[in-house]
């Protein structure tokens, strides 16, 4: 039996509430498929920052590096400036483990009221490939002329040839592998004078290596509108760090609730552990009520299994959560229009796995 060492970081807020449900489902699927998990728990969070001034200990990355994968909940909580908590843990892990691909599915699941009129499961089903370690997310810049009428800030975005080409290539390979040879690029080359014309240039260059893959590109503003108006036209959408982040909240928002959306931070070369998390954050407004939807965390665990080469087990989880949502009497958390508790839904998904 293969046993995987999984670093478990619930993090902040509802991350602590949804993580136990994902572990419950993983343990059950592990029993069914003969997969062992050694969960190593880390309680690093904004509470750690308040006590120590850091999100994780000095040897935190070395501790994480010893695992096959990382399962993360949420990062950020009132009392700690968001940019410090994010850069102190989430973005630090993405960068130092070169998890340059952020893969996020946008899929309308059964049984969830969809705000887009007339759409049913199958109509909205595509992938967002977000560049995850450079671009607009940068610590380069600073304040100038502080305290004077000329005060301002500069924030620099970085697009390297290596970083741009490898994410574009990943998107093309994904589209080919899915048998849906179509890649859409998110750009804004009419407004961003340097970065986005370069992005477009590299998109065209990499695209020439994939003559079988159809391409199109939209400025981010009209792309957002097209997401809402005609989501069925998309297969794989590739975007920079910021554009991909925004689109991958918009996408799940269009499917009724962002709480179901997972996110895989992948180092495709497997030189470092990859990290799997729900798209959602720590949701302090509902933390403590035990009503958070655990599906994003559970689906993230399924993506982790796919990455580890356990696609059969990952597929079982997806089928179980769809089967639960298809039931009229399914426990639904408030974001899905019900009044169920987090654990009720997690339990139902674990119970829907084959006996």
Helix/strand/coil (H/E/C) assignment for every residue in 9-20: EEECCCHHHHHH
Active site residue 170: no
Window 71 to 110, contacts with ligand GGG (CB under 6 A)? 72, 74-76, 90
Nearest of 249, 282, 262 to residue 15 by alpha carbon: 282
Query: Residue 16 catalytic?
Result: no
Q: Pick the catalytic residue from 82, 125, 200, 249.
A: 249
Binding part of the chain for ligand GGG, among 40-48, 174-182, 253-261, 277-285 by CB under 6 A, reads 277-285
Minimum CB separation from ligand GGG for residue 33, in Å?
Answer: 26
Select from 123, 114, 112, 124 the least CA-distant residue to 345.
Answer: 112
The DSSP bridge partners found for residue 2 are 35
Site membership for ligand GGG, residue 252 (CB under 6 A): no
Place of tokens 């999984």: 6
Among 68, 134, 277, 344, binds ligand GGG (CB under 6 A): 277
Is 27 a catalytic site residue?
Answer: no
Q: Provide the minimum distance between the beta carbon of 241 and ligand GGG in the complex, in angstroms, as a whole number.
A: 7
Q: Which of 21, 68, 136, 245 binds ligand GGG (CB under 6 A)?
A: 245
Residue 43 annotated as catalytic:
no
Quick check: 135 binds ligand GGG (CB under 6 A)? no
Selection from 82, 14, 98 nearest residue 292 by Cα: 14
Count the residues in the chain.
355
- Minimum CB distance to ligand GGG smaller for 74 or for 317: 74
What part of residues 19-78 is at the interface with ligand GGG (CB under 6 A)? 72, 74-76
Decide if 137 is catalytic. yes
Q: How far apart are the first and last CA of the chain?
A: 20
CB nearer ligand GGG, residue 77 or residue 199? 77
Give the CA distances from residue 246 to residues 127, 186, 202, 262, in Å, rounded to whole numbers and listed in that order. Answer: 14, 11, 22, 14
Closest CB to ligand GGG among 240 and 282? 282
281 binds ligand GGG (CB under 6 A): yes
For 349, other C-beta atoms within 10 Å of its C-beta total 27
Place of tokens 């030189």: 271
CA dihedral (183, 188, 194, 197) positive or negative = positive
Q: Is 324 in the site for ligand GGG (CB under 6 A)?
A: no
Catalytic residue among 77, 100, 137, 170: 137
Round the CA-based radius of gyration of the chain to a whole number and report it.
20
Number of residues that bind ligand GGG (CB under 6 A): 11
- Among the listed residues 188, 306, 335, 344, the single catalytic one is 188
Q: How far is the CB of 157 from ligand GGG (least distance, A)?
A: 14
Q: What is the bridge-based pairing of β-strands 262-266 and 101-107?
A: antiparallel
Closest separation between CB of residue 76 and ligand GGG, Å? Answer: 6
Task: In angstroms, give the least distance from the CB of 351 to ligand GGG.
Answer: 26
- Cβ nearer to ligand GGG, comparing 35 with 106: 106
- Residue 72 or 345: the one with the smaller Cβ distance to ligand GGG is 72
Does 278 sit near ligand GGG (CB under 6 A)?
yes
Q: Which is nearer to ligand GGG, 35 or 69 (CB)?
A: 69
Per annotation, catalytic residue among 245, 306, 335, 344: 245
Dihedral sign (CA 123, 224, 131, 75): negative
Q: How many CB atoms lie within 10 A of CB 216?
A: 12
Tokens for 96?
Answer: 């130092």
Cβ distance to ligand GGG smaller for residue 134 or 277: 277
Give the 3-state secondary structure of residue 152: strand
Reduced 3-state DSSP string for 256-297: CCHHHCEEEEECCCCCCCEEEEECCCCCCCCCCCCCCCCHHH
3-state secondary structure of 307: helix
Rule CB under 6 A: which residues touch ligand GGG? 72, 74-76, 90, 245, 277-278, 280-282
Residues that are catalytic: 137, 188, 221, 245, 249
């Amino acid at each position: 039996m293969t046993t995987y060492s999984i670093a478990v970081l619930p993090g902040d807020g509802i991350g602590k509430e949804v993580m136990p449900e994902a572990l419950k489902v993983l343990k059950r699927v592990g029993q069914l498929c003969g997969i062992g998990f050694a969960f190593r728990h880390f309680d690093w969070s904004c509470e750690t920052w308040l006590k120590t001034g850091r999100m994780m200990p000095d040897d935190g990355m070395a501790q994480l590096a010893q695992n096959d994968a990382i399962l993360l909940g949420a990062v950020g909580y009132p009392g700690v400036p968001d940019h410090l908590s994010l850069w102190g843990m989430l973005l630090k892990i993405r960068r130092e483990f070169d998890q340059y691909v952020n893969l996020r599915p946008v899929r309308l699941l059964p049984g969830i009221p969809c705000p887009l009129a007339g759409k049913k499961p199958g109509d909205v089903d595509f992938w967002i490939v977000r560049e995850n370690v450079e671009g607009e997310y940068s610590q380069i810049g600073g304040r100038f002329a502080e305290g004077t009428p000329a005060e301002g800030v500069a924030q620099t975005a970085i697009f390297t040839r290596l970083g741009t080409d490898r994410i574009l290539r990943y998107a093309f390979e994904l589209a080919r592998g899915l048998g849906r040879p179509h890649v859409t690029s998110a750009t804004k080359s009419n407004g961003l004078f340097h970065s986005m014309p370069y992005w477009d240039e590299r998109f065209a260059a990499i695209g020439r290596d994939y003559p079988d893959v159809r391409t199109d590109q939209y400025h981010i503003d009209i792309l957002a509108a097209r997401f809402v108006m005609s989501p069925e036209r998309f297969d794989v959408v590739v975007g920079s760090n910021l554009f991909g982040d925004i689109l991958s909240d918009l996408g799940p928002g269009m499917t009724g609730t962002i709480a179901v959306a997972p996110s895989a931070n992948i180092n495709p070369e497997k030189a470092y552990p990859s990290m799997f998390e729900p798209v959602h954050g720590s949701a302090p407004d509902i933390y403590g009520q035990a009503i958070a939807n655990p599906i994003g965390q559970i689906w993230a665990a399924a993506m982790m299994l796919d990455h580890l080469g356990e696609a059969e087990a990952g597929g079982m989880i997806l089928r179980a959560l769809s089967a639960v949502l298809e039931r009229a009497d399914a426990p639904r958390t408030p974001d899905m229009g019900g009044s169920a508790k987090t654990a009720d839904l997690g339990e139902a998904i674990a119970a829907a796995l084959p006996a």
